[in-house]
Amino acid sequence: MELGPIWRSLTRNKAGSVLIALQIAVTLAIMVNAIAIMQERAEQMGRPSGTDEANIFTLSSTAFVPDTNIQSLIEEDLKLIRSQPGVVEAIATNSFPLRQGGSARGFQLEPGAGKETLTGAVYYTDEHAIEAFGTHLVDGANFAPNQVVWGGQNGDEWPANIIITESFAKTLFPDTAESAIGKTVFVDDTRPVQIIGIIDRLQAPWRNWGEIENTVIVPLRQEGQQQWYLVRTEPGAQDRIMPEVEELLAQSNKNRIIQSVRTMQEVRDRSYLSDNAMIKMLGFIVTLLILITGLGIVGLASFNVSRRTRQIGIRRALGATRAQVINYFRIENLLISGLGIAVGAVLAIALNLFLVNAFSLTPMSWYVIPLAMLAMWVVGQIAVIGPARRASRISPAIATRSG
Amino acid sequence: MLKMTHVSKIYRTDTVETHALREFSLTVDEGEFVSVTGPSGSGKTTFLNIAGLLEELSGGTYELDGRDISSLTDSERSKVRNEKIGFIFQSFNLIPELNIFDNVDVPLRYRGFKAPERQRRIERGLELVGLASRMKHYPAQLSGGQQQRVAIARALAGEPRFLLADEPTGNLDTEMAVSVLDLLDEINAGGTTIIMVTHELSLAKRARRNIFVRDGRVSDRPPEIRLAASAGQV
Chain length of chain A = 403
What's the pLDDT at B176?
80
Q: How far apart are CA B101 and CA B6, in angstroms?
A: 41
CB contact under 8 Å between A319 and B82, yes or no, is: yes
CA distance B17 to B8: 12
Backbone phi and psi for residue A99, each to the nearest 5 degrees, phi listed first: -70, -20
Asked whether the beta carbons of residue B81 and residue A399 sit closer than 8 angstroms, the reply is no
Measured in residues, chain B has a length of 234
Place B204 in a pLDDT band, splitting at 50, 70 and 90.
confident
Asked if B12 and B62 touch (Cβ cutoff 8 Å), the reply is no
Q: Are A55 and A238 in contact (CB under 8 A)?
A: yes
How large is the ipTM? 0.91
pLDDT in tens, A120-154: 999 999 999 999 999 999 999 999 999 999 887 66
User: Do A5 and B102 count as a contact with CB atoms less than 8 A apart?
Assistant: yes
- Nearest beta carbon to residue A321 from set B52, B53, B75: B75
Q: What is the pLDDT of residue A77?
A: 94
**Which of A400, A401, A402 would you mutate first to test chain B, the one with the most B CBs within 10 A?**
A400
What local confidence, expressed as pLDDT, does residue B220 receive? 63
Comparing A214-223, A251-260, B115-124, B211-220, the range with the smallest average pLDDT is B211-220
| Positions in chain A short of pLDDT 70 | 1, 153-155, 402-403
Closest to A315 (Cβ–Cβ): which among B75, B106, B158? B106
Tell me which chain B residues have a C-beta less than 8 angstroms from the C-beta of A317: 52, 54, 81, 87, 93
Q: What is the DSSP string of A150-184?
A: EE-TTS----SEEEEEHHHHHHHSTT--S--TT-E
* Residues facing A185 on adjacent strands: A193
User: Does B159 contact A at CB distance below 8 Å?
Assistant: no
pLDDT score at B41: 86
| B106 pLDDT higher than 50 | yes
pLDDT band at B169 (very low <50, low <70, confident <90, very high): confident
Query: Which chain B residue has the Cα nearest residue A13?
Result: B97
pLDDT at B202: 81
What pLDDT shows up at residue A155?
Answer: 62
Question: Residue B226 — very low, low, confident or very high, per pLDDT cuts 50/70/90?
Answer: very low
pLDDT at A83: 95
The pLDDT of residue B232 is 38
CA of B109: which chain A residue's CA is closest?
Answer: A2
Q: What are the tens digits of pLDDT across the range A49-59?
A: 999 999 999 99
Residues of B in contact with A402 (CB under 8 A): 90-91
- Chain A residues whose C-beta is within 8 A of a chain B C-beta are 2, 4-5, 8-9, 12-13, 310-311, 314-324, 395-397, 399-400, 402-403
pLDDT at residue A381, rounded to an integer: 93
pLDDT of residue A403: 59
User: In this complex, do B95 and A400 lie within 8 Å of one another by their Cβ atoms?
Assistant: no
Predicted pLDDT at B99 = 94
pLDDT tens digit string along B14-33? 889 899 999 999 999 999 99
Q: Give Cα separations from A391 to A18, A198, A315, A336, B49 (angstroms).
A: 22, 70, 11, 18, 19
Closest B-chain CA to A395? B54
The answer to whether the CB atoms of A8 and B109 lie below 8 A apart is no
CA B84 to chain centre: 12
Surface of B (59-78) touching A: CB under 8 A: 74-75, 78
- DSSP secondary-structure letter at B218? E
A161-165 and A149-151: which strand pairing?
Answer: unpaired
Q: Residue A318 and residue B54: Cβ atoms within 8 Å?
A: no
Taking the CA of residue B157 and the nearest CA in chain A, the distance in Å comes to: 11
Chain B residue numbers touching A315 (CB-CB < 8 A): 95, 106, 110
Q: What burial class does residue B72 get, using C-beta atoms within 10 Å of its C-beta: 0-12 exposed, 13-18 middle, 19+ buried? A: middle
Given CB atoms, is B98 within the 8 Å cutoff of chain A?
yes
- Asked whether the beta carbons of residue A321 and residue B102 sit closer than 8 angstroms, the reply is no
The whole-number pLDDT of residue B101 equals 95
Give the per-residue pLDDT at A265.
95
Q: Which residue in the set B45, B102, B154 is minimally distant from A400, CB to CB?
A: B45
Whether residues A400 and B78 touch (CB distance < 8 A) is answered with: no
pLDDT of A225: 87
Count Cβ atoms within 10 A of the Cβ of residue A356 and give its class: 0-12 exposed, 13-18 middle, 19 or more buried. Answer: middle
Element (H, E) at B190: none
| CB pairs < 8 Å spanning A and B | 86
Hey, are the CB atoms on B87 and A317 less than 8 Å from each other?
yes
pLDDT at A350 (0 to 100): 95
- Which residue on chain A is closest to B113 by alpha carbon? A1
| B201 close to A (CB below 8 A) | no
Pairing of strands A161-165, A215-218: antiparallel
The rounded distance, in Å, linking the Cα atoms of A135 and A198 is 10
Torsion of Cα atoms, B132 then B134 then B135 then B140, to 10°: -140
Chain A contact probe: residue of B40, B58, B78 with most A CBs at under 10 A: B78
**Average pLDDT for B194-211:** 88
Shortest CA distance from B166: residue in chain A: A400
Spell out the residues 6+ positions from residue A323 whose beta carbon is closer than 8 angstroms to its own: A392, B75
Give kind and range of the element (H or E) at residue A369: helix A368-392
